[in-house]
Structure 1
C-alpha cells in the first residue's frame, strides 16, 4: 500500500467532499469535468492508496491546494482559448512544476493533451490514458484552429509516451495503428449496481425513452432520433422521449430545431442534469437510445446498463459495439437510419420478453467488465508493471556501466 499515485486530469472537486478538508466551501464547486477519472480516483482511495491530483480550472486566479485523508488536490489557473497561442505552455508549466515537487511514484495523465504533456515533461514515471481520437475530434467540431492545435499536441504525446492505456477496443486499435505497439485496455468504471433486473419490468403504458448527449451536432445525431421518435409518438401518444444534456434544455438549440420541423410532440427537453439526477432518470427509463455516430467509450451506456435499462446504439459508432458486448448486452443498429432507430425502439417497447433479456444481460455485462473494483485493480497492476520494468531497465543499465 506504499504506492503513491499522481493523477493529472480534469476533475470535479465536489465528489471528494468526504475525503478532503477545504479551507473554503466554495472550493467544492471547482473543476471542469472528468466523471470517469473521478470514479477511478475514488476507487483507488477506497483501496487505501495515497493520491495526489493535479488539475486546472479557468475560474480561479491563483493556485489552490486542498489536503485531505490520503489525497491532495492541486488546482491551477487556466486561461481561455488564448492559451492555444503558446500551446498551453503556462498551464503545462504549472502542472509540471508541482508534479516534480511531489513524492509520487507514478503520474497517470488522462487525455492526450496538456495534462499528458505535463506528465511527459515531469521527472516521474508516467502512464497516459487516451480517451478520444484527436483526428475525429478535429473533423467533427467547428472550432477548427483550437482542435488543430490539440491534434498536434496529441501527436506529440503519442510519439513520446512510453506507457499508454486505451479506454476501449476502438481506442486500442487507433493507438496500436499509430504507435505500432501493443496497448492495454482499461475501461471507464461504474460505481455500483443500483437495481436488480428481476425487480424491474417494462411499462405497459407511459413508456419512457431517454437519450443523453452533450451538444446538438451532426456527430451526436440526435436529430435522427427525434425524427424516428415522432413516428413512434404518432402511433402511441403515451410514449415520451426525454433529452438530457447541453443544448437540450427547453427553448434550446435542439428544442428550436424540433419546433421548426414540427416534431416536438412527446419530447421533454430537460437540459443539463447532475450525475445523480441522470442516474435517477436512467433508472426510470424503459430504453436508452444512444444515436452518436462516434464514441471513444460511452459512459452513458454503462450507467444505463447498470440500472438494467436496455440500450440501443450504433454498430459503426466507435466503441459502442464493444461496450454493448457486440449486441449481447444491447441492440446494435445503423443509427444513421431513421427507419432502423424507429424499428429498434418499437420492437423493444412491444416485446417484454426481449426487454427482460436485455435488461438482465446489461447488468451482467457491467458486473463482469465495468465495476469499480475490477477497474481499480487493473490500474494498480498496470502501475506496478511500469515501475517494475523501469527498475529492471535501471538495473540493466547499471550493470552495463559497471561492466564497461
Structure 2
C-alpha cells in the first residue's frame, strides 16, 4: 500500500549536501519512484527544487528568522506552526524526521498533536555535543545551558519515535542510551551509477579527502601526517575538498610544514584546498585519487568513505563510531588510532609501498559497497520499517 509521508528536513542546500542530507534526499527520491507521496518541509525550497522534480514530491517552505546560534529554536517554532496548518487541511500516514536535532523534537510535538506515527533517522544523536566539546565552546557563556536544552529536545524526540532508523550500530547504541524505543539499522548509501571506478587511470600518489573543516573530522591530523608521508614520497599530493572554521589554521599548518621542508615543490602545489565541491563534482575528484584519508574523531556513519570505496579508492581512517560497520582493518580499508599523525603517516607510506595490498583493498571494498549500500537496498529497509508503524 502506497503511503503519504511528511518529511521534516530543515535547510537542504543542493550545493553542499553532507551525509545526512544525501541520505534523506535519496530516500525521498527512491520512495517517490516507488509511488509514495512525499510532502517535504524545508527552510529553503527555491534551491532544493532543483533536486526534487518528481511528480510525487511536493516541497513546502518553512519561513523562519535565521538568528545566529538560535536558528534551531526559531526553525522549530516556525516548523511546528507551518506543518500544523498543513495537517489541519491535509492527511498523511507517517511523519519522518531527517535528524534528531531539532527535527525529531518537531516530529514529537506533531505526532502527539495529530496522532501520527513518527520515524526518525538517526545519524549521530550527540554530534552537536561532541562538536562543541572539540571546539572548546562548551566552556563559553551559556554553553552548558545550551547543551542541557539541546539534549532534552533530543531525548524527547527519540522517546516519541515509533521507529528510529539508525545509520550504524554506534548510532543505534547512542540512541538507545538516550531513550529510543524501537530501533533498527538503516545505513547511509551510495549511488553506484554515479560513484564508480575510473575506466582507465595511471597509479600515482594522490591523496584526497572530502570533509567539512571542523575538529571532529581530524583534517589537522591528516595535514601533519602528510608532511611525514611526503618526505618518503615527495611526489605525493593532498587535495582537501571542503570548507569550515578550521581552514585558516590548516592552511597555516601546511605552510609551516613547507617552511621546514627543503623540497622544491611549494606548499600550494603539494597541499591544495579546493573549497566546497558540489555533489556532482565529488565523483570525479574521488576517481582521480589513489587514496582517501579522513582520520575522523567522531563519525555517525561517514558516507564519504563508501563514496570513495564505490569509486575504487582505498580508505584510511579511524575506528570511530559507525566507521567500523564497513571498514575492516586490512580487508576493506586501513584503521589507525585518532590523533596519531605518525601512525597515519606510516599507514599511508605502507599502502604506497605495496600496490598489491592497495589493489586488494580496492576490490574488497568495492564488492562490499555494491552488496550492502546501494540506495535500492536502503529504501527497501525504510519501506519495511514504514509497514511496521
Q: TM-score range by the shorter chain?
A: 0.7 to 0.9
| Alpha-carbon shift at residue 136 of structure 1 (Å) | 2.6
Distance 1:328 1:93, change over 3 A: farther
Match of 1:305 among 304, 309, 321: 309
Equivalent in the alignment of 1:239: 236
Match of 2:63 among 43, 64, 77: 77
Counting only pairs closer than 5 Å after superposition, residues 4-403 of structure 1 correspond to structure 2 as: 4-10=4-10, 12=12, 34-57=21-44, 69-79=55-65, 80=67, 81-83=69-71, 88-122=76-110, 123=114, 124-134=116-126, 135-144=129-138, 145=143, 147-179=147-179, 181-194=181-194, 199=199, 203=203, 205=204, 207-217=205-215, 219-247=216-244, 252-262=248-258, 264=267, 266-315=270-319, 317-325=320-328, 328-386=331-389
Matched residues in 1 for 2:359 and 2:19: separation?
37
Figure out how many residues of one structure are paired with residues of the other and give that number.
363
When residues 158 and 184 of structure 1 are mapped into structure 2, their CA distance, relative to the original with a 3 A threshold, is same
CA contact 1:31–1:57 (8 Å) conserved in 2: no
Question: Using CA pairs below 8 Å that are at least 6 residues apart, which structure has the higher relative contact order?
Answer: 2
- Alpha-carbon distance change, 202 to 96 in structure 1, aligned in 2, over 3 angstroms: farther
Question: What SS is found at the alignment partner of 2:244?
Answer: coil
* Unaligned segments of structure 1, at least 5 residues: 16-28, 61-65, 387-404
Change (3 A) 1:262 1:279: same
Change (3 A) 1:67 1:373: closer
Give the whole-Å Cα distance in 1 for the aligned partners of 2:345 and 2:91.
55
How far apart in 2 are the matches of 1:171 and 1:311?
21
TM-score for the superposition, normalised by structure 2: 0.83
CA pair 364-42 structure 1, distance change in 2 beyond 3 A: same
Deviation at 1:381, TM superposition (A): 0.7
Moved more, 108-117 or 364-373: 108-117
- Asked if the contact 2:159/2:181 (under 8 Å) is kept, the reply is no
Distance 1:288 1:67, change over 3 A: closer
CA contact (8 A) 1:167 1:296 kept: yes
Given that residues 198 and 360 in structure 1 are in contact (C-alpha distance below 8 angstroms), is that contact kept between their aligned partners in structure 2? no
**CA separation of 1:160/1:12 partners in 2, compared to 1, >3 Å: closer, same or farther?**
closer
Evaluate the alpha carbon distance shift between residue 74 and residue 31 of structure 1 in structure 2; reply closer, same or farther with a 3 A threshold: farther
SS in 2 for 1:54: strand
Computing the radius of gyration over CA atoms, which structure comes out larger, 1 or 2?
1
- Counterpart secondary structure, 1:282: helix
Contact conserved, 1:297 with 1:320, CA < 8 A, in 2?
Answer: yes
Conservation of the 8 A alpha-carbon contact between 1:10 and 1:32: no
The 1:31/1:290 distance shift into structure 2, 3 A limit, reads closer
Structure 2 unaligned runs (5+)? Answer: 260-266
